[in-house]
Chains A and B, each alone.
Chain A
Amino acid sequence: GNSVTQMEGPVTLSEEAFLTINCTYTATGYPSLFWYVQYPGEGLQLLLKATKADDKGSNKGFEATYRKETTSFHLEKGSVQVSDSAVYFCALSDSGGGADGLTFGKGTHLIIQP
């Protein structure tokens, strides 16, 4: 079956530090990959996506590259801000063309200190 593994944290960084959150996956087909962010008390926001190998998703200074050879989709940001404090979920869709639920990692709680 499909699965997503990510570091759970909490990950605590100082403002302006470099961020990496690792995500690896197992899938039977050719999945699409996503990063979602959840701020306290809110729903999930799509942060970025990649639908095929070697695609790079980017948004709001965050980037992730779909690496088929290492089955990874690591999230990076060069300089984090206090406002980036949230829970980050890596997810995949391997629906084979039909509507299906996403497979989520357990989530990484990120805390940015001023």
Chain B
Amino acid sequence: DTEVTQTPKHLVMGMTNKKSLKCEQHMGHRAMYWYKQKAKKPPELMFVYSYEKLSINESVPSRFSPECPNSSLLNLHLHALQPEDSALYLCASSQDPATNIQYFGAGTRLSVL
């Protein structure tokens, strides 16, 4: 089983709203990732958690706030987003740091009005 589950599948929010994206995996993977993907572009890395600790933040604006409550769960808290933040947000996980084989969820399609 290589399933990474993301909820919700779609989200529409205003610029003053606060919302959260959720990602879950039960494969025992110890690294989890958030990527942002704009239309017709490859995914861009946002954050990496390794053993539940934030190890990489790719200079993401503070209106995006990641959280890793336990080894199976990864959240992305959203606040005061801009319309240009509309995108597909992908979560991924990996087990083996040596090969870094990443498995992706289906994504959350976010629209900011």
Contacts and interface: CB of A to CB of B under 8 A. Distances in A.
Contacts of B106: 42-43
Given A46-B103, A99-B48, A107 B42 contact: yes
B98 A45 contact: no
**Interface of A (DSSP majority class):** loop
Interface string B1-13: 0100010000000
28 contacts: A32-B101, A34-B101, A43-B105, A43-B107, A44-B43, A44-B90, A45-B104, A46-B103, A49-B99, A49-B101, A51-B99, A93-B100, A93-B102, A97-B98, A98-B50, A98-B55, A99-B55, A99-B94, A99-B100, A100-B48, A101-B33, A102-B43, A102-B45, A104-B42, A105-B42, A106-B41, A106-B42, A107-B41
Interface of A: 32, 34, 36, 41-46, 49, 51, 89, 93, 95, 97-102, 104-107
Interface of B: 2, 6, 31, 33, 35, 40-43, 45, 48-50, 55-56, 58, 88, 90, 92, 94, 97-107, 109
